[in-house]
Amino acid sequence: MYPKDLRYSKEHEWARTEGNRVRVGITKFAADRLSDVVYVELPQVGAEVSFMQPFGVVESVKAVSDLYAPVSGRVAEINRALVEKPELINTDPYGEAWMIVVEPRDLAELDRLMDAAAYAAMVGEATS
Amino acid sequence: MDGVGTLRRTPLYEVHRAAGARMVPFGGWEMPVQYSGIIEEHLAVRTRAGLFDVSHMGEVELAGPGALALAQRLVTNDVARLAVGQALYTPMCTPEGGIIDDLLVYRLDDARLMLVVNATNTQEDLAWIRAHAADDVRVIDRTAEVALLALQGPRSLAILQRLTPTPLETVPYYRFRDGVEVAGRRTLVSRTGYTGEDGFEVYCAPGDAPHLWSAILEAGRPDGVLPAGLGARDTLRLEAGYLLHGNDMDTATTPLEAGLGWTVKLQKGEFIGADALRRQKAVGISRRLAGFTLEERAIARHGFAILHEGTPIGRVTSGTFGPSVGKSIGLGYLPPEHAEPGRRVAVEIRGRAVPGVVTKLPFYTRPQPAPA
């Protein structure tokens, strides 16, 4: 459910370090809670995002949720596939449904996030 | 009791929990909002069949020689046109023409009617009905004595037919039959629904509901029937252009404004709200409920502003993503000059004007069966 190589925010985003960039998405827990994601609003490439500030919106039939940046920096890539296929967020939250790639200002911010075990404990599940 | 101690539960509560349903409070009841997922359940109803627990709906029986006259006075549609075994859809209005509730009226026999009302409004409706009842009619709240299952979708007839000796093709749309044996239990079977698909609503004793629920799901397994929750019920009804009381209409809106003019029978004789509706019809309405389709998938939620060239002209009353139409759709009241299909509108979503177009209702019409 929660890959060991990711860092997790309390707002249910994950962050994966890839060299000097960070890929961001939402967790399986968040996707399941939303269920049936039908719309995603992402920032423009080049936009600045700030640690634990909203960078976008994810919407399901039932509810709308803000997306929070797990790291500050400049948006280097966005996942345009999600505009047409937002349901990927439900089927592959850690893979095809990544949301943005950030060029971070301060990678040490990731230390303030949780590891998989702490996140699983927060959402009340045992790590598999 | 987790703060939900006052919520009522249907006889299928344990069945829903065991099936992994997500339960939510709705109209004073703890109801399943989804099982496998809203879109999956929605598509099952459109292409195969879905089974809903709608036991939260209120059932009010009017019994006695004055039953028909009372109903005629309370509702805008013409109950006198109903044959025994027939049902109709109607608003019930205030003297000002505001919609207290929308309901189905079943003519059970010459001196008995059953009104099926929204869960949210059951208590208010009962008080209103009782306040207008004379001595020649009894008003009986049957809500706790009646459970209601809705089997909806193109495979409904085939599935339900496996469980009953009654030939169901002899029950046409908006007709019903009482005393139908389904899976060995006595029920009232009605060819009605709230999804835009063919289907049946099965009224039964609460104690029989779990057995009937399992029997229908079992009989429909080869067809791919799924249990479906309130989430899918809402996306289905909105695509079909059906209104939800409390969202799309209330006591501040009239049936003429809500596009329900076809249910207002001003010629039938006096009824509560007739004068106001007659006047409004003569003067003309200043706003009308209209459907709209957006060019993006963002959802127009209840209360969002509807814009014309940047100026607010109305508010969204219902909005969702329509899984079968593949678009963001909604309803809202607009000035008549803006309510014509094809007119450009926008909905303000999180500070942004998302463009759209006024769309003729319903958004979705089921394909007609191919000729045999």
H helical segments located in B143-246: 156-161, 209-219, 230-239
Beta strands in B205-343 (DSSP E): 226-228, 288-294, 305-308, 311-322, 327-334
Chain A nearest C-alpha distance from B100 (Å): 26
* Tokens read off for B252: 């501040």
CA distance B240 to B234: 10
The DSSP annotation for B13-45 comes to HHHHHHTTPEEEEETTEEEEEESS-HHHHHHHH
The boundaries of every CATH 2.40.30.110 domain in chain B are 287-359
Chain A nearest C-alpha distance from B328 (Å): 9
CA distance A12 to A121: 13
A35 to B235: CB separation less than 8 angstroms, yes or no: no
Check if B327 contacts A (Cβ < 8 Å).
no
Q: How confident is the model at residue A1 (pLDDT cuts 50, 70, 90)?
A: confident
In a domain, A76, yes or no: yes
Residues of chain B short of pLDDT 70, as ranges, are: 1-5, 369-372
Element (H, E) at B91: strand B87-93
CATH number of domain containing A58: 2.40.50.100
Q: Looking at beta carbons, which residues of chain A come within 8 Å of B299? A: 38-39, 59, 61, 64
CA distance A33 to A123: 11
Q: Scan residues 76-95 of A and list those with Cβ closer than 8 Å to B.
A: 83, 86-87, 90
* Tokens read off for B131: 């306040």
Element (H, E) at B123: helix B122-131
Q: Residue type for A51, please? A: F
* Tokens read off for B229: 């929750």
Residue pairs between chains A and B whose CB atoms are closer than 8 Å: 39
- What's the confidence (pLDDT) of residue A128? 46
Chain A nearest C-alpha distance from B141 (Å): 32
CA distance B197 to B49: 9
Check if A66 contacts B (Cβ < 8 Å).
no
- What's the confidence (pLDDT) of residue B370? 60
Give residue A79's domain range: 7-120
Q: Cα separations (Å) of B349 from B178, B296, B331, B352?
A: 48, 11, 15, 5
Q: Looking at beta carbons, which residues of chain A come within 8 Å of B231? A: 61-62
CA distance B317 to B244: 9
CA distance A37 to B98: 36
CA distance B36 to B41: 7
Chain B nearest C-alpha distance from A99 (Å): 17
In a domain, A27, yes or no: yes
- What's the confidence (pLDDT) of residue B1? 40
Q: Which residue of A has its CA nearest to B350?
A: A57
Q: Report the pLDDT averaged over residues A106-118.
A: 96
Percentage of chain A exceeding pLDDT 70: 98
| Confidence check: pLDDT of A44 > 70 | yes
| Confidence check: pLDDT of A57 > 90 | yes
Q: Looking at beta carbons, which residues of chain B come within 8 Å of A57? A: 350
CA distance B254 to B276: 9
* Tokens read off for B157: 């007839």
* Tokens read off for B368: 């007609």
Check if A127 contacts B (Cβ < 8 Å).
no
Neighbours of B338 (CB within 10 A): 17
In CATH, what is the architecture of B58-144?
2-Layer Sandwich (3.30)
On whether the CB atoms of residues A49 and A70 are closer than 8 A, the answer is: no
CA distance B354 to B293: 10
DSSP conformational letter for B371:
P
* B8-55+146-239 CATH pick, 3.30.930.10, 3.40.50.300, 3.30.1360.120, 3.90.420.10: 3.30.1360.120
- What's the confidence (pLDDT) of residue B2? 45
The boundaries of every CATH 3.30.1360.120 domain in chain B are 8-55+146-239
Neighbours of A57 (CB within 10 A): 16
CA distance B355 to B56: 37
* Tokens read off for A43: 């920032």
What would the pLDDT profile of A70-93 be if each residue is shown by its tens digit? Answer: 999 999 999 999 998 999 999 999
What would the pLDDT profile of B216-240 be if each residue is shown by its tens digit? Answer: 999 999 999 999 999 999 999 999 9
Which of A38, A60, A65 would best serve as a mutation to test chain B binding (most B beta carbons within 10 A)?
A: A38
Neighbours of B205 (CB within 10 A): 14
On whether the CB atoms of residues B200 and B10 are closer than 8 A, the answer is: no
- What's the confidence (pLDDT) of residue B5? 59
Check if A32 contacts B (Cβ < 8 Å).
no
Check if A61 contacts B (Cβ < 8 Å).
yes
**For chain A, what is the largest distance between any 2 Cα atoms, rounded to a whole number of angstroms?**
38
- What's the confidence (pLDDT) of residue A17? 97
Which of A40, A61, A64 would best serve as a mutation to test chain B binding (most B beta carbons within 10 A)?
A: A61
Query: What is the CATH number assigned to the segment(s) B287-359?
Result: 2.40.30.110
On whether the CB atoms of residues B263 and B89 are closer than 8 A, the answer is: yes
CA distance B166 to B172: 13
Q: How many domains does chain A have?
A: 1
* Tokens read off for B100: 């207290």
Check if B34 contacts A (Cβ < 8 Å).
yes
Cis-peptide into B362, omega within 30 deg: yes
